[in-house]
Amino acid sequence: MPKLLAVTGARRKLLVLVAVTVIVAGALWWFNRAEPALPVAGECIKGPSVTTLKIVYCGSAGARYVVLGRVGNLPEEDARAVSITCAQWPDTTLVTWRERSGGKGVVICMRDA
């Protein structure tokens, strides 16, 4: 009959070290994972909602909006001022804001496809 390995002080320390390393690595991955790419001018967004901002081929049936441009580093309140924020793109029919950090984010100006 095989002997069961006793968990000695050294083995216990090694197991704890491995467990802590795995937990820390997982936490680092979770908090540093890449954010979804935001669309750039000329790309198309799938409709009917802009909540997910799924980028699609502009010739596809699902393409609902065309991105005209982006304005970065703005608080959400400024995103609501469409006539000011997206003034350089007069064809803008839809605006969405995506938070990046510190309460500021990117305004995405779009028009119907």
Extents of the domains making up the chain? 6-35, 44-112
Residues recorded for the chain: 113
H helices, E strands: number in the chain: 3, 5
Residue 96: its H or E element: strand 94-101
Confidence label for 49 from pLDDT (cuts 50, 70 and 90): low
53 touches 35 (CB < 8 A): no
Hunting for tokens 């908090």 — which residue is that? 31
Confidence label for 65 from pLDDT (cuts 50, 70 and 90): very high
110 touches 94 (CB < 8 A): yes
Nearest to 47 by CA among 23, 68, 64: 64
pLDDT in tens, 7-48: 677 777 888 888 888 888 877 776 666 556 788 899 998 865
Q: What is the pLDDT of residue 32?
A: 66
